[in-house]
Chain A
Amino acid sequence: MNKKLLFIPLIVFLGLVIAFMVQLQRNAQGDDPTSLESALIGKPVPKFKLESLDIPGKVYDQAALHDGKPMLLNVWATWCPTCYAEHQFLNKLSAQGIRVIGLNYKDERNKAIKWLNDLGNPYALSLYDNNGMLGLDLGVYGAPETFLIDGDGIVRYRHAGDLNDRIWEEEIKPLWIKYQGSGS
């Protein structure tokens, strides 16, 4: 029997160790292995007709997310603890002049309105997705999620999880600047 063959299991094992170490290192730096790519990147925002969160009876459609300038669409709910953690950062963004549209996802209207009154309202516009069907069309699989929509109403980026300084600076801001210029 060739003795060199006996080293194969050891080499395979070391290979696995290296692969796991690399991925664990990435996880430690904030890479989430459970996050999914959005199927919507490069596609227009799905059609919808939703009521405004704060003005019952006022209905918006997809044209509300398409006015020549980029915007963020933030999916949130009062039952979502991460949304609470993220809220102050959204306030900060909107104070900097970043347009954020809120999509209140599978929530109770009065709770959501109270939340905005208590914690501040970073949203230029608030949509109310009561049964989560726009969420389904957007491929939302948990709140919070944030989409970057360019001036032509095309989805350019999706982040699943909370927005924070790091994500904004590293991932979204460069895209924001890019689409700020190209929106026509």
Chain B
Amino acid sequence: MLKRISFILFGLMMTFVAHATIDTYNFKSVEEEQQFRELTGQLRCPKCQNNSIADSNAPIATDMREKVYELMEQGQSRQDIINYMVDRYGNFVTYEPPITPATIFLWLVPVLCVVIGAAAIVMLSRRRKVSDSGAGSESLSEQEKARLQQLLSDKTGAKGRKKS
């Protein structure tokens, strides 16, 4: 019984936690609300590593959500708002780093992985084809066939003996 009550209490607590980051903003339209959600999901909270400002409880995330709302009310575009935050917090604040000499590696690694992987698959399949065709051309000689037959019958014979 106690266990159940504590379970329910825990559940209630979790719902409070989940609602803690929801601020009350009045949006003029559904699209606007949608845009707000997208933007706050795309901006990274500078304090808490790898949370978006949408799901962070840090005071700075609250301020930034506030600012995003304010800038949206001023009619600024999505890119303007992202630039505004990047001007203050650097490229860390966006999940999409721009291509610069320092970040080019981040962009190239996935491409390189795909290229290297594809090359590896092609090479392996080629090698297999060669070895497959090689096996096909080498049929067993009469002598080898006889030896194989003997080995097989020996084995079954051995099994049979064990059983008896």
Contact = CB atoms under 8 A, between A and B. Distances in A.
> Is chain B found bound to chain A in the same assembly?
yes
B41 to A, nearest CB: 19
A141 B90 contact: no
Contacts of B59: 106, 132
B63 interface: yes
A39 B86 contact: yes
A112 B92 CA distance: 31
Contacts of B49: 34
Interface string A139-157: 1111000000000000000
Contact-residue size bin, chain B (C-beta under 8 Å from the other chain): 10 to 19
Interface in B52-104: 59-60, 63-64, 67, 86-90, 92
Interface residues of A, number: 18
Contact of A37 (B47, B60, B63, B90): B90
B63 A36 contact: no
Grouping DSSP codes into helix (H, G, I), strand (E, B) and loop, the A interface class, with mixed when no group exceeds half, is loop
A142 B90 contact: no
Given A34-B49, A136-B67, A141-B47, A39 B87 contact: yes
Contact of A39 (B63, B67, B88): B88
Contact of A141 (B60, B67, B86, B87): B60
A36 B44 CA distance: 12
A137 interface: yes
A132 B63 contact: yes
Interface string B104-148: 000000000000000000000000000000000000000000000
B84 to A, nearest CB: 10
Interface in A115-150: 131-133, 135-142
Cβ-closest 4 pairs across A and B = A141-B46, A39-B90, A139-B88, A141-B47
Interface of A: 34, 36-40, 106, 131-133, 135-142
7 contacts: A34-B49, A36-B89, A39-B90, A40-B88, A136-B64, A136-B88, A142-B47
